[in-house]
Amino acid sequence: MQLPSFRRKAPDTAPATALVVTPSAPITAEAPSARWFWPWQEALERWRLSLAGRSAATAATYASAVKVFFQTPGAPDLAGITIEHLDAYASAQGLKAGKNAPGAERIAPATVNIRLAALKAFLLWCLNRDMLPGHLSKERIKDALRGITTRVQRPYQVLEAEELPAMLQAAEADKTDGARCLALVALGLGAGLRVSELCALNVGSIAIDKRGAYVDVQQGKGRKDRQVPIDESVYLLVAAYLEQTGRSIHRAADRDMPLFLTRKSKSSAGRLCTRHARRIIEACAERAGLQGEKHITPHGLRHSYAFNLLLGSKEEGREGAPATAVANMLGHADLRHVMRYTDHLERQKLAVYAPSLRRARQAS
């Protein structure tokens, strides 16, 4: 069997021609022993089912990331995997994240790291069950599938305060269902939910009590539940959408129905899917004239929410939220995820926090 030969380079320094696959000398994989080698499809399905601590959406994402390796032309089954296969795959993925990669093939560094991390976790699971050739070890798998370094990139895909009115107006002007689009965008900007969480909401997920309105997020990423406070303006937009569809937040019979429906359906089979939700929000941003240098997606609305929390608003008399509060509202278990946002804050926005020595000098 001939394997593609790659040199492992830093993505930003790799020439465009480095994506060309050139054959190397044939490598003979170790002959399978008497151990039982499962087809990769069956092993992958068993691994996916073993991810009991993850949400269904996360497990599906990891499984899809693993499939990329096995669906690459020339990829072996579990019995034929060599360390050279893993080296070649990791190098090819890293090159696709480089600035010299062709536009059609370029992928985000974060995507590369998800693919490598998922494949590493899957292969280590297989290794513990004697499903891999004997020459593969835990250390060799980890070394071959180590992630690439990610860098802060600009412009960051967020909506500035002055861009919000255009986004909301474009949402309301959606020809298919303006009320639904407006409620979807409002919850993205006003609650910072992931697109999978938005689509998983039921009518009963929106609630209000004497302390205010909130979104009850059940089984978010990592199977974590959380309650996210929302402003009354966001609550009213969601309520208006429900009223248009003949439903109500306060009607018990409606509580278990999907919040966002496709084609104004009134059955659970009509739940809006994540792919459709992405298309709705991206089309909305395009109508608003915001898809130039930026590319606004549902996750862009989530990022915008996080920035809004961290920076606060003088006009609204709202102080910036501490990182721990932002982490809780976003559903992040690790505070480091929130700290990444600070890397993207523009200098003029950070300047207000720079300490002054004026009073100290006056007192001296």
Q: Which residues are catalytic?
A: 194, 221, 299, 302, 332, 341
DSSP state letter for 76: -
* Separation CA 329–CA 308 (nearest Å): 12
CB atoms within 10 A of CB 69: 23
Through-space distance between the first and last CA atoms of the chain, rounded to whole angstroms: 78
Answer yes or no: are the C-beta atoms of 285 and 292 closer than 8 Å: no
CB atoms within 10 A of CB 100: 15
Do you know the residue count of the chain? 364
Q: Is the dihedral of CA 36, 37, 40, 41 positive or negative?
A: negative
3-state helix, strand, coil in the chain (%, to 5): 50, 5, 40
* Separation CA 328–CA 313 (nearest Å): 20
H or E element at residue 328: helix 323-330
CB atoms within 10 A of CB 90: 24
